[in-house]
Amino acid sequence: MQKRIPVTADSMRCSTCMLSELCLPLGMPKPELNKLDDLIQERIRLKKGSPLFHLADPVEAVYALRSGSIKTQLEDATGQIQITGFLLPGEIAGMDGLLDNKHVSHALALEDSEVCVMRLDDFDELAMQLPMLQTQLRRLMSKEINRSHSIMMTLGALRSEQRLAAFLLNMSDRLTALGYSPYEFLLRMSREEIGNFLGLTLETISRLFSRFSREGLLEIQQREVKLLNLPALHQLAGTACPSHAY
């Protein structure tokens, strides 16, 4: 179920949003940021499990996630589903459909969520006044490509335990950017969804969580995760460990 909310003068705007350093306005000067407020005319609230858009829907807008979380997934003619990503606040949904102006995946809310709607017609009109918007769009597209490369590396070159370690560290890094703890967080997706995304079975994911717990890498209770040894997880995933992990 979708509920469209008009953005009024009293609503939170791009110029005052705490996610502006993660989203489209990243690094924009204050005068241009104020003009960007005109781009967001409505928001959409989604109940858990509701679609934001479906595969092959026409692309009329891209969506900045303001709260909650969203998963994107593909589905073939037999109903086989492949999850392609999990989006957190400040991240953009719908970028991958800009080439042919058709969405190339389904986007579903993992929990009650809200997105800012950036209609493409309004974007193009405002970009004539704010050339920096085109730079920002290229930045976001580059970020999407890098994300795809990271997924390919995770699925194609890593062992199962490395995949899960890399996934948990990625979630930790992204949540840290939002101001949350890098060590304790709630997984909004199920273990089955994590397994689908990583190309692993539910049984393998459950076994790995149990193994990581026994080895003192983490504690897990339902979907609540506490990372106990970030350096060891980074070593397992083959990634550099940030200073805050020590």
Indicate if 77 and 143 belong to the same structural domain: yes
95 shares its domain with 207: no
Instruction: Give the residue from 130, 153, 176 where a domain finishes.
Output: 153
Asked which of 118, 134, 153 is the last residue of a domain, the reply is: 153
* pLDDT in the model for residue 96: 84
**Number of independent structural domains in the chain:** 2
CATH number of the domain that 137 lies in?
2.60.120.10
Q: What is the pLDDT along the chain (246 residues), one digit of tens a residue?
A: 788 888 877 777 777 777 766 676 667 777 777 777 778 889 999 999 999 999 999 999 999 999 999 999 999 888 899 999 999 998 999 988 888 899 999 999 999 999 999 999 988 888 888 887 777 777 777 777 777 777 776 677 789 999 999 999 999 999 998 899 999 999 999 999 999 999 999 999 999 999 999 999 999 999 999 999 999 999 998 876 665 554
Q: What is residue 243's predicted lDDT score, i.e. its pLDDT?
A: 52
Nearest to 92 by CA among 60, 125, 66: 66
Range of the domain at 92: 2-153
Q: How far apart are CA 222 and CA 41, in angstroms?
A: 38
The last residue of one of the domains, among 124, 153, 182, is 153
Residues 31, 128, single domain; the answer is: yes
Same domain, 80 and 186: no
Do 90 and 177 lie in one domain? The reply is no
Q: Do 144 and 168 sit in the same domain of this protein?
A: no
Which residues, at least 6 apart from 162, have a Cβ–Cβ distance to it below 8 Å?
A: 154, 236, 237, 238
Closest C-alpha to 65, from 36, 33, 40, 97: 40
Structural tokens at position 243? 């200073």
**Pair 86, 36: CB distance under 8 Å:** no
